[in-house]
Amino acid sequence: MSPEYLVEIRDLNFQYDNRPILTGINMKIPRGKVVAVMGSSGCGKTTTLRLIGGQLRPSSGEVRVNGQVVHELDAAGLYGLRRRMGMLFQFGALFTDMSVYDNIAFQMREHTDLSEGLIRDLVLMKLHAVGLRGAHKLMPAELSGGMARRVALARAVALDPMLIMYDEPFAGLDPISLSIVGELIRRLNDVLGASSIVVTHDVQESLKIVDYVYFVSAGKIVAEGTAEEIKRSTVPYVHQFVWGEADGPVPFQYPSRPYGEQLMERAVRRG
């Protein structure tokens, strides 16, 4: 494995039973960079994150994180690797019966021997970084969607991870919150010197903050490049996706018989 890359995915195939999900996937996530994995729902984006985190095992091929083949690790090795990963789940997934403060402190109490005094300082530091130090006593039910996502982001970086994974971090956010979360992803990655993988179908916001993009369709990588290269892509699916066109390789009309033929059939029946 090249020391330049924190994550390397090589010739990866994954299937549920006999149903292929990912086919021939090759990705490289450089250290210190933000990389997006884009594509429509069901194309295999979140499955890729689960393979990197060791929740799933590939059918063939390999996933290396920091030089370690993830699916070859035993339980202790995988646990140790995951301690160096942060995860922002879709819609935040905060512990609903814990305060904002305790949501952030949870990982520190679980994985370190730090004193409560030092944990307090670190929790407030993480919340300050996302602009929510003053909300540390609130419960998740008292937060707006954008605030909850920022708390989830603070929790994801609680242990200063080397790798941060984001599963649809922009879903359901208003334009202001969406822009704030995007800027935080970029800024926290740079400050921590981490690598980030952003799984998303929010093209325009993602292209503002990422260094590189992989486009996935039907379980295969159909395009890759910088934000500007992706914007100029002539791959029909990528062009349709980036510019939000209603018709293209992904058709507007669900497959059906010719409309005229169906109308004529109804006219004949009436006659």
Question: Across the chain, what does the average pLDDT equal?
Answer: 87
Give me the domains of the chain, ranges plus CATH numbers. Answer: 5-84+162-176+191-270 (3.40.50.300), 95-160 (no CATH)
**H or E stretch at 90:** none
- Among 42-46, 81-85, 196-200, the minimum mean pLDDT is found in 42-46
Segment 202-260, tens digit of pLDDT: 888 888 899 999 988 888 898 899 988 888 888 877 777 777 766 666 665 666 777 77
The per-residue DSSP string of 232-249 comes to T---HHHHHHHHT-SSSS
In this model, does residue 118 exceed pLDDT 70?
A: yes
Q: Dihedral (C-alpha) 192, 124, 121, 165: value to the nearest 10 degrees?
A: -30
Q: According to the model, what pLDDT value does residue 174 have?
A: 84
Bigger pLDDT: 139 or 16?
A: 139
CB distance 115 to 121 below 8 Å: no
CB 219 within 8 A of CB 43: yes
User: 180: number of CA atoms within 13 Å, CB side?
Assistant: 17
Strands across the sheet containing 195-200: 85-88, 163-167, 195-200, 34-38, 212-217, 220-225
Q: What b/e string do you get for 3-17 counting C-beta neighbours within 10 Å, with b at 16 or more?
A: eebbbbbbebebeee
